[in-house]
Structure 1
Amino acid sequence: MTAGGPRIRFDGVGLTLGRTEILRDVRLSVEAGSVHALVGPNGGGKSSLVKALLGQMPHRGRLAIDWPGAPGTVGYVPQSLEFDRGLPMSVEDFMRATTQRRPAFLRRPREGMADIDAALDRVGMADKRLRRMGALSGGERQRVLLAQSLIPNPALLVLDEPMAALDEAGFAVFEHLLRDWRRDGVTVLWVEHDLEAVGRLADRVSGLNRSVLFDGAPREVLAPERLLALFSARPRTAAQENREPADAAALEAAVSAPARPPDGGAHPPLGRMSRSDRRVVQ
């Protein structure tokens, strides 16, 4: 059981890469303990906003995480996991590497395994713990990413299209996890393209296309006319921005790259940020 999750405030947040404006005057609040979805077109700035929250992109304006007490654990689930599928790394090896801080040669043989067992069981992957990561399907790998975000129990979860590769069984697992997080008071910021799932599962939804075009309860804002406006208002093209080709390539690389730790240091476990990494609160 976690302590209560934080409230997140975006107050006039903007982000520019080269000559391209990615985010403009983003203003929204994610209430403590809520499941808040971000929807919008590709290139509309959703992943960039997530990276600004995680401290991976410089931004204008104010971005604050208001904890109810001492800061808790921040969990992060990326869209996908890029790795050499030929590596002889099992699911268990991956979980131990991404959820434990101590070097392998300093760990006791079963250190942390109870938490790993419980997390894999929650996502239906306990029976595949010894399978090689490269042999898993895309949906199974995504479930492993969900599992590693559960260790330690997060108070804030940032999910960047976690349903992208899930199969039907994975959808059921994800829905169950969302219910558990809501029950436990975890704050969830969820980037998602599946509007049907958002309509059923989110407490609140914001439409983002460089700026916030709507924000409210799903039943109120997921109306055809609002969605048409959201997905029709395209971000400006490279020609409109009059940027150089090199700027366009740098932009695409920066936005599509997975979130990385600041200072070029060792990457923290994919599913969490240590307290020393929490530099997003100003």
Structure 2
Amino acid sequence: MTVQEPLTLQRVGPLIAFAEVSLNLGRTTILDSVAFQVEPGSIHALVGPNGGGKSSLIKTLLGQMPHQGRLSLQWPGEPGVIGYVPQALEFDRGLPMTVDDFMAAMCQRRPAFLGLSKHYAGAIGQALERVGMQDKRKRRMGALSGGERQRVLLAQGLIPSPQLLVLDEPMSALDEAGIQVFERLLQDWRQAGITVLWIEHDLEAVGRLADRVTGLNRRVLFDGPPRQTLTPERLLTLFSTHPRTNGSAA
């Protein structure tokens, strides 16, 4: 009898290492010696209170904010593509911008008013299909629901095909159908070996879907598998205004 070895997923995403990363704006400490790692090809959630530094940490990763300490991406080969999905989209809803127009503006250098370039048309169509928005490509962005706009934001984060995805509360505006789409995408990214750093406030979703979770309230209060770290005591400490200095870590 032959025992088949389990298939090992190829990891195309990088390892992310935060080493004593600090950020101060004036006299305000935003991040205080943040240190943890995101394993390559993993779904890593970042949780914590509003104002706890989650989005600021993401901005340091994307090179948008100065910081102290060391932040490194260790790619398995040549540096790959980083995709980013913001929490929300602010725009004038009266603009006559269709979904196709928005995707063209975000994904190609050619001016959006000239339409989709042949180079990106196929990829844009596939991305919209994956998020269930293929049939609404000619709808105005301002006429979409909040959940539909969030799906379009997810689609733009897939072009070009990323090896690292940074998600800032992507579930915040999604309806039930959109949440199912997002959960399927997470599974696809895990199977593809893509590294995902995911800010999320839905702790139940984090517990089900993340491989690892870091609790951040200016500094790291815990870091480990969700089942071990998302305990009532640790969550109480995490979401308190002034976290205790001796917050335990897993």
> What is the TM-score when the length of structure 1 is the normalising length?
0.80
Residues 83-103 of structure 1, C-alpha deviations (whole Å, 9 max, x = no match): 110000000111111111234
Alpha carbons of 1:105 and 1:174: their partners in 2 closer, same or farther (altered >3 Å)? closer
Tell me the equivalent position of 2:141. 133
Of 154, 158, 168, 1:150 maps to 158
Alpha carbons of 1:61 and 1:135: their partners in 2 closer, same or farther (altered >3 Å)? same
1:173 is aligned to 2:181: yes
> C-alpha distance in 1, partners of 2:12/2:117?
33
Of 119, 122, 126, 1:118 maps to 126
- Give matches, 1:75-86, under 5 Å: 75-86=83-94
> C-alpha distance in 2, partners of 1:194/1:108?
36
Tell me the equivalent position of 1:26. 34
Equivalent residue letter for 2:123:
D
1:69 is aligned to 2:83: no
Of 216, 220, 231, 1:212 maps to 220
> Comparing both chains, which one has the higher relative contact order based on Cα–Cα distances under 8 Å and sequence gaps of 6 or more?
1
Alpha carbons of 1:234 and 1:138: their partners in 2 closer, same or farther (altered >3 Å)? farther
Q: CA deviation at 1:112?
A: 1.5
Q: CA deviation at 1:233?
A: 4.0
- Give matches, 1:196-235, under 5 Å: 196-234=204-242
> What is the TM-score when the length of structure 2 is the normalising length?
0.90
> C-alpha distance in 1, partners of 2:150/2:142?
12
Of 84, 91, 100, 2:99 maps to 91
Q: CA deviation at 1:111?
A: 3.8
8 Å Cα contact 2:101-2:112 kept in structure 1: no
8 Å Cα contact 2:44-2:211 kept in structure 1: yes
Equivalent residue letter for 2:135:
D
8 Å Cα contact 2:19-2:70 kept in structure 1: yes
> C-alpha distance in 1, partners of 2:109/2:171?
28
Alpha carbons of 1:50 and 1:119: their partners in 2 closer, same or farther (altered >3 Å)? same
Q: Which runs of 5+ in 2 are unaligned?
A: 1-9, 244-250
> C-alpha distance in 2, partners of 1:69/1:106?
36
Q: CA deviation at 1:214?
A: 0.2
| Secondary structure, counterpart of 2:239 in structure 1 | helix
Percentage of pairs with the same residue: 71
Of 22, 46, 70, 1:38 maps to 46
Equivalent residue letter for 1:138:
G
Q: CA deviation at 1:109?
A: 5.4
Residues 51-87 of structure 1, C-alpha deviations (whole Å, 9 max, x = no match): 0100111000000011111111100000000011000
Structure 1 window deviating more from structure 2 (101-110 vs 208-217): it is 101-110
> C-alpha distance in 1, partners of 2:109/2:82?
15
Equivalent residue letter for 2:49:
P
Q: Aligned-residue CA RMSD in angstroms?
A: 1.6
Number of residues of Structure 1 aligned to a counterpart in Structure 2? 234
Equivalent residue letter for 2:225:
A
Q: CA deviation at 1:232?
A: 1.4
Residues 221-275 of structure 1, C-alpha deviations (whole Å, 9 max, x = no match): 001111011111437xxxxxxxxxxxxxxxxxxxxxxxxxxxxxxxxxxxxxxxx
> C-alpha distance in 2, partners of 1:76/1:65?
15
| Secondary structure, counterpart of 1:232 in structure 2 | coil
